[in-house]
């Protein structure tokens, strides 16, 4: 067992929230409270972009680059084996990988192939990495660990013509709650961060103008993605006796409370 190492998986680490969070985690660990050397397992489809993330980490961080398809059981199973053999433990998984194929068309006109891809990537990717976490965390010493799921305020209040993404994020809420419940016997905690209007490539359209519930187009405020990274870091720093089930972080003034 590598008890002297703190091992964290970040999916979707090639850009946006995943990259920024990986860099932030490398800057806050090791610490006085968590002196272990940090191992960051960077997961994503694009090898070159994962390498860019790795070069931005604080010196001394061990970067394990895992380029592949997060929805592939073979890929995830192989990564699980690698982590067990090289590091012998897993402390945290940030299930962050996700897509949103925004459509301007009505629900009944949407491409069902793309619809299925959103559900597969956003839901099954998180399911497979949660399964990986359970397999390692329940068997290690000390037993347990933490899982953080990237949800969305779309798990509470959908946007117009965005059914696939909304369904996927409602499913993440179900996964979070089931994981929190089923993880108790293994000392595994699970949190969900519901994010609203972080400034990333995927969410950049809201600052240009986003459709509201009444059909109007409105420019919406955004927030720096650094705020999300700091929130993940805060939860990651908590002791095992604390479980934050859900947390909403939104850009100030965005149309969410009373949306539409």
- Tens digits of residue pLDDT in 159-187: 888 899 999 999 999 999 999 999 999 99
Residue 23 has what pLDDT? 98
CATH T-level topology, domain 5-250: Rossmann fold (3.40.50)
pTM of the model: 0.93
The parts of the chain modelled with pLDDT lower than 70 are 1-3, 102-105, 202-205, 207-208, 258-260
Closest CA to 29 of 8, 12, 55: 8
Beta strands at 210-211 and 217-218: parallel, antiparallel or unpaired: antiparallel
């Amino acid at each position: 067992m590598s008890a002297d190492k703190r091992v964290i998986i970040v999916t979707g680490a090639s850009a946006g929230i995943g990259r920024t969070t990986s860099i932030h985690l490398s800057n806050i660990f090791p610490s006085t409270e968590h002196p272990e050397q940090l191992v960051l397992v960077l997961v994503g489809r694009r090898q070159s972009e994962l390498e860019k993330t790795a070069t931005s980490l604080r010196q001394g961080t061990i970067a394990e680059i895992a380029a592949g398809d997060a929805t592939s059981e073979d890929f995830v199973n192989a990564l699980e084996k690698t982590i067990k053999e090289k590091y012998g433990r897993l402390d945290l998984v940030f299930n962050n990988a996700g897509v949103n194929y925004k459509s301007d068309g009505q629900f009944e006109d949407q491409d069902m192939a793309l619809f299925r891809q959103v559900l597969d990537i956003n839901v099954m990717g998180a399911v497979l990495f949660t399964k990986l976490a359970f397999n390692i965390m329940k068997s290690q010493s000390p037993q347990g660990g933490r899982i953080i799921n990237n949800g969305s305020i779309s798990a509470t209040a959908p946007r117009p013509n965005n059914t696939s993404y909304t369904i996927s994020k409602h499913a993440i809420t179900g996964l979070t709650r089931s994981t929190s419940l089923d993880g108790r016997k293994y000392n595994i905690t699970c949190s969900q961060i519901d994010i609203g209007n972080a400034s990333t490539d995927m969410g950049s359209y809201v600052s240009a103008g986003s459709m509201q519930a009444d059909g109007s187009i409105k420019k919406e405020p955004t927030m720096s993605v650094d705020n999300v990274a700091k929130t993940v870091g805060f939860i990651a720093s908590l002791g095992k006796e604390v479980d934050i089930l859900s947390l909403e972080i939104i850009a100030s003034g965005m149309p969410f409370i009373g949306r539409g």
